[in-house]
Chains A and B, each alone.
Chain A
C-alpha cells in the first residue's frame, strides 16, 4: 500500500494537511505535524491538541484523509483510511514533531523569503498521536494524473 517513495515523502518536512468528517457529514480541515510510517498499511499521525474538531472526529474512529505535498516540487500524495487509535505523544513523537517543525519552517522560509521567526508562528502548542489504517493512496501532484489511485492498484 505505502511504497518507499510515498513513505519518503510523507515522513519528510513537507506540507501535511488533514481532512476528517463528523457524524453529520461536516468536513474539517487541519494540519498534521509529522508522520511516521509504521508498516505497509499504517501510519502514525501527529495532530494538534488545539484542533478540537479534528480530535473529536478521530476519537470516534472516523475516516481520515492526509495529503502530503513537497514544498518545492509540488509532488503530492493523499492517504485515505480510518483512525484506529489515539494516544498521548511519546518522547519519540516529540522529537519527530520538533524535526518536522524546524524542517518545514526552513523550507517555507527558503521558498518565499519569509523570515523564519514569522513562519514559526504557525507551530501548534501541543500534539497527540493518531494511528491510521491506510486503505488507499492517491496521486495529488498537480496535472492530468491528479486524483489517480496509486494503491491498491
Chain B
C-alpha cells in the first residue's frame, strides 16, 4: 500500500456515499490481530484525500487505532446501492474546530431522527487519510459485464 499515488476513485466521485443516508461499517484490528467491526452513522469527506469519522461509542475501535492505525471502511451510495471499500490510516483527533462542529451537528440530527438523543454524543472527530478505494462488486456488476 502506498500513500503517494492518486486514488483510483476520487472521493468526490462517490460523494453521495458521504451524505449519511446509509450507515457505513468500519473494521479495525488490535496489535495482536483481533479484528473489531462496527457501524458508523456517517463518513465525512474532509478533502480529496481525507475523511472524518465521528467517535461516539466505539471505544474498542479507538483502542485498536491507538495500537494499529489502519482501518477498513465500507460506504454505500444511496443512489444505486453500490459499495466502496476504503483503506484508511489514522492521522489525528480533533475535539474542537470546524470539522468537529460539522460532525457534532450531524450526530445531533441523526440522534433526533432515530430517537437516540442523549445516547448519541460526539466525543471527537477522527481524521483519516484514504490510501485505497475500490468498488465492492455485486451480482449486478457481473450481469452488467
Contact = CB atoms under 8 A, between A and B. Distances in A.
A142 B116 contact: yes
Interface residues of B, number: 46
Contacts of A146: 57-58
Contacts of A124: 138-139
Contacts of B74: 17, 29-31
Contacts of A18: 27, 37
Contact of B72 (A26, A67, A112): A26
Contacts of A119: 81
Main secondary structure of the interface of B (DSSP, over half): mixed
Interface in A110-153: 112, 114, 118-119, 121-126, 140, 142-143, 146-147
A20 B27 contact: yes
Residue of B56, B116, B136 with highest tally of chain A CB at under 10 A: B136
Contacts of A50: 136-138
Contact of A140 (B35, B38, B73, B140): B38
Contacts of A43: none
A65 B36 CA distance: 6
Nearest to A118: B81
Interface in A44-88: 50-51, 62-67, 69, 74, 76, 78, 80
Interface of A: 15, 17-21, 25-31, 50-51, 62-67, 69, 74, 76, 78, 80, 112, 114, 118-119, 121-126, 140, 142-143, 146-147
30 contacts: A17-B25, A17-B39, A17-B74, A25-B29, A25-B31, A25-B33, A27-B68, A28-B27, A29-B72, A29-B74, A31-B25, A50-B136, A50-B137, A63-B33, A63-B35, A65-B34, A65-B35, A67-B37, A67-B39, A74-B116, A80-B36, A118-B81, A119-B81, A121-B140, A122-B76, A122-B83, A124-B138, A124-B139, A140-B38, A143-B57
